[in-house]
Amino acid sequence: MLFTYYQCSLTDFTLTEQGLVKILKKYDKRTGALIKLVKECVAMLDHLFPSNNLSISAECDGQNGVPKPAQSGGRVPELEEIKYMQSLYMKSTVAALRSLKQIRSKSSTVKTD
C-alpha cells in the first residue's frame, strides 16, 4: 500500500521544459556555474578544433552547412569519415552551447532561429 502511494506521487510530479529552464536560471543566478561551463566548453573546443573557417566554408554543401566527405582516391577513407564525424560533433556541440546561452537569456522561452 505504501508502494502504490509513492508511485502515484511520483507520476503526479512532472517537470516541464519551462520549469527546468526556471530551475536552471535560478541555480545559475546563485552559482554562475552554467556560464562557467559554457566558457570552459568553448575553450576546450577551441583548443581541440582550431577554427579554420575558410577551408570549412569551401567544403560545405549548400543544404545544411555540413562538410561532405571527399571522395579522393589518394586519401584513406577512414580519415575522411573521421573528419566528417568531427564536423558533425562540432556542429552538435555548438548547437548545444547556443541552447545553453538561450536558457541564460532574460526571457524564459527558448528562441528558435
pTM: 0.29
Q: Kindly give the confidence (pLDDT) of every residue in the chain, 113 residues in length, as a single tens digit, with 9 standing for 90 and above.
A: 444 444 444 444 566 777 777 887 887 788 888 778 888 888 888 888 776 554 444 445 455 554 555 555 555 668 888 888 888 888 888 888 888 888 777 665 555 55
Q: What pLDDT sits at residue 111?
A: 57
DSSP H helices, 1-113, are 2-12, 17-31, 33-48, 53-59, 77-103
Q: What pLDDT sits at residue 36?
A: 83
Q: Where are the domains of the chain?
A: 39-107
Which one-letter DSSP state was computed for residue 62?
A: T
- Based on the number of CB atoms within 10 Å of its own CB, is 81 exposed (0-12), middle (13-18) or buried (19 or more)? exposed
